[in-house]
Homo-oligomer: A and B are copies of this chain.
Amino acid sequence: MKLLDIGEITERSGVKPSTLRYYEEVGLIQSVTRHGLRRQYEPQTLTKLSLIAFAKSAGFSLADILGMFTDNGQLQFPRDQIRARADQIDQRIKELTTLRNALHHVADCPAPSHLECPSFQSLLKATGKRSPAKKKPPAR
């Protein structure tokens, strides 16, 4: 089985060497051996990196992702967690949709200043009033 240099991994995955070393440091990936000092990776590392990119784009943190691999390196992406995340994303989509509609409205609204636009005002109320405790959207 042919092993890959870090440069090759970078080229084929788009993930920078510094990031790869960082991922190794936090335990996300491993290099199987060294050629001199140089890390040698198994080709399947590329798949793993795709997996990581995917999970990241789904809003999982690196720590979350770390938990998705079993001790023997197998993927274990619990289905209920996936569903939960899908629901969060759904929620986020709804928020963003409201936001986008609001923005479109504001952009087209003939009121001289946005503050005078009634929709904008009620939008402000809606955005500003919720959650005097937490502010972050569920899935970034």
Contacts and interface: CB of A to CB of B under 8 A. Distances in A.
Contact of A128 (B50, B75, B83, B135): B50
Q: What is the oligomeric copy number?
A: 2
A89 B115 contact: no
A49 interface: yes
A29 B33 CA distance: 56
A106 B127 contact: no
A72 interface: no
A124 B57 contact: no
Nearest to A86: B103
A82 B129 CA distance: 22
Contacts of A2: none
A96 to B, nearest CB: 5
A85 interface: yes
Interface string A96-125: 110110011011000001110000000111
Q: What are the 8 closest A-B residue pairs judged by CB atoms, nearest first? A: A50-B128, A14-B132, A86-B103, A50-B124, A54-B127, A82-B107, A89-B100, A79-B107
